[in-house]
């Protein structure tokens, strides 16, 4: 058996490696506090669960679903975007259902890149951006996200030769793993830059509803003219705690949606109609749960930030996402060494920043999708193990 040579360039998925390390520690009998994967631990709101139960019992939800999403789901997405962002979308041509945003993000590279084409991707970033580029024999070009620049890329620094062969520019705000946010001026510049260089601007907006202290993240589609050059990926996973349901949406440029649809209709057969019905209820129903869960996350964020600062860090509380991005202590040469020692000494699992790209070296990521008492205990364990910043 001879596998494709392109797989030689693909390392094991970051969180698959982390799971192996966690499993090994657990087998030794240790109680591991997992602050790694960003998987919401809060329940799906009851009215959404009830809608799913009802839809499962409806025989009309059996059989193949429409490839591009049910009409009801696409219209609900358009209505939600109008209410949340004041963005008008044509449900027929500018909305596409996804089996979770990860799937759509991965497939847009298949839809847009030919072998040898460049994708312009942030570094550090969600690993799928780079791996999906490599899987279609494209070339990932890293845009370093530096702390002194607010973790925004310097688009003016991109090599002109690269720009001529680039087709995609990815942005992700609120960001994973950094938790950074983008101001309106940056989004406006990104749209203008993409138009000037004939790029598809891809916005990963999975964390738009996870925000604190009155901050309201923007959609790039709020920028005038963005629908001509931009596609945005969104998910119900973080907003409504529906990670297991695997449902999201791509919206924006009709041309990009059509290209992505060609890939998807030839690879998958859509999303179970009962899940789409539950998603409609999520998007059009009561939204109180969002503020309620954000209040929970805000308390957890504060416990984590204040706890780390008591150990020598000097962190500011992030405005959005459920991630805290922090430098590793000076005595450690790599992020991986610090995280491995933290796991072994304190049985606390966090993610090494270098797993998200070369520019992530020197950092680690904490997810606040664990209860307050577990986050507080993690800080106590770090203190006892003398895992401080200084």
> Which tens digit of pLDDT belongs to each residue from 71-98?
999 999 999 999 999 999 999 999 999 9
Q: What is the DSSP string of 69-83?
A: --HHHHHHHHHHHHH
Q: What is the mean pLDDT of residues 237-262?
A: 97
b/e per residue 248-279 (b: at least 16 CB within 10 A) = bbbbbbbebbebbbebbeeeeebbbbbbbbbb
All structural domains of the chain: 5-43+289-384 (3.90.1150.10), 46-284 (3.40.640.10)
* Structure token digits, residue 111: 């839809």
Name the pTM for this structure: 0.95
- Residue 213 reports pLDDT greater than 90: yes
Cα distances from 1 to residues 135, 200, 317, in angstroms, run 19, 37, 51
Q: What is the pLDDT of residue 133?
A: 97
Cβ neighbours of residue 198 under 8 Å, at least 6 residues apart?
A: 167
Cα radius of gyration rounded to whole Å, the chain: 21
Interval 315-337: pLDDT, tens = 999 999 999 999 999 999 999 99
Residue 21 banded pLDDT, cuts 50, 70, 90:
confident
CB 363 within 8 A of CB 180: no
Q: What is the pLDDT of residues 38-75, one digit of tens each?
A: 899 999 999 999 999 999 999 999 999 999 999 999 99
Q: What is d(CA 277, CA 56) in angstroms, rounded to the nearest whole number?
A: 9
pLDDT tens digits along 280-291 = 999 999 999 999
| Rounded Cα distance, 247 and 44, in Å | 13
Q: What is the pLDDT of residue 24?
A: 79
Beta strands 166-171 and 118-123, pairing class: parallel
Average pLDDT over the chain, rounded to whole?
Answer: 95
Does pLDDT of 15 surpass 70? no
First to last CA, the chain: 52
Give 317's contacts (C-beta < 8 A, 6+ positions apart): 212, 213, 301, 302, 305
Q: What is the mean pLDDT of residues 229-236?
A: 98
pLDDT of residue 9: 81
Q: Find all residues with CB under 8 Å of 345, minimum gap 6, and list them.
A: 385, 387
- What mean pLDDT do residues 150-172 have? 97
Work out the angle at residue 19's Cα, subtended by the Cα atoms of residues 13 and 24, and round it to the nearest 5 degrees: 135
Asked if the model's pLDDT at residue 11 lies above 90, the reply is: no
pLDDT at 14: 67
């Amino acid at each position: 058996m001879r596998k494709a040579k392109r797989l030689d360039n693909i390392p094991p998925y970051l969180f698959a490696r982390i799971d192996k390390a966690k499993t090994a520690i657990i087998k030794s009998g240790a109680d591991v506090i997992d602050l790694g994967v960003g998987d919401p631990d809060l329940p799906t709101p009851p009215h959404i669960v009830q809608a799913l139960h009802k839809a499962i019992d409806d025989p009309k939800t059996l059989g193949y679903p429409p490839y591009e999403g049910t009409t009801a789901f696409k219209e609900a997405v358009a209505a939600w975007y109008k209410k949340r962002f004041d963005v008008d979308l044509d449900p027929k041509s500018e909305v596409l259902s996804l089996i979770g945003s990860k799937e759509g993000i991965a497939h847009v590279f298949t839809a847009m890149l030919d072998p040898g084409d460049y994708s312009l991707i942030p570094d550090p970033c969600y690993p799928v951006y780079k791996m999906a580029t490599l899987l279609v024999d494209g070339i990932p070009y890293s845009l370093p996200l530096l702390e002194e620049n607010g973790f925004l890329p310097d688009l003016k620094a991109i090599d002109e030769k690269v720009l001529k062969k680039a087709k995609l520019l990815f942005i992700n705000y609120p960001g994973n793993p950094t938790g950074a946010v983008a101001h309106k001026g940056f989004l406006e510049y990104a749209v203008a830059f993409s138009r000037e260089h004939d790029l598809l601007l891809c916005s990963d907006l999975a964390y738009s509803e996870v925000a604190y202290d009155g901050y309201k993240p923007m959609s790039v589609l709020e920028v005038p003219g963005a629908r001509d050059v931009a596609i945005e990926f969104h998910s119900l996973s973080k907003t409504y705690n529906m990670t297991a349901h695997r449902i999201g949406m791509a919206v924006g440029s009709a041309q990009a949606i059509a290209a992505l649809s060609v890939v998807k209709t030839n690879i998958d057969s859509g999303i179970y109609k009962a899940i789409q019905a539950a998603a409609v209820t999520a998007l059009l129903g009561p939204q109180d749960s969002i503020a309620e869960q954000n209040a929970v996350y805000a308390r957890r964020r504060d416990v984590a930030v204040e706890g780390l600062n008591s150990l020598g860090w000097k962190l500011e509380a992030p405005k959005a996402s459920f991630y805290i991005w922090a430098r590793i202590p000076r005595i450690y040469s790599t992020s991986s060494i610090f995280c491995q020692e933290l796991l072994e000494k304190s049985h606390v699992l966090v993610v090494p920043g270098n797993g998200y790209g070369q520019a992530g070296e020197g950092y680690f990521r904490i997810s606040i999708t664990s209860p307050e008492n577990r986050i507080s205990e993690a800080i106590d364990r770090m203190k006892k193990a003398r895992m401080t910043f200084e």
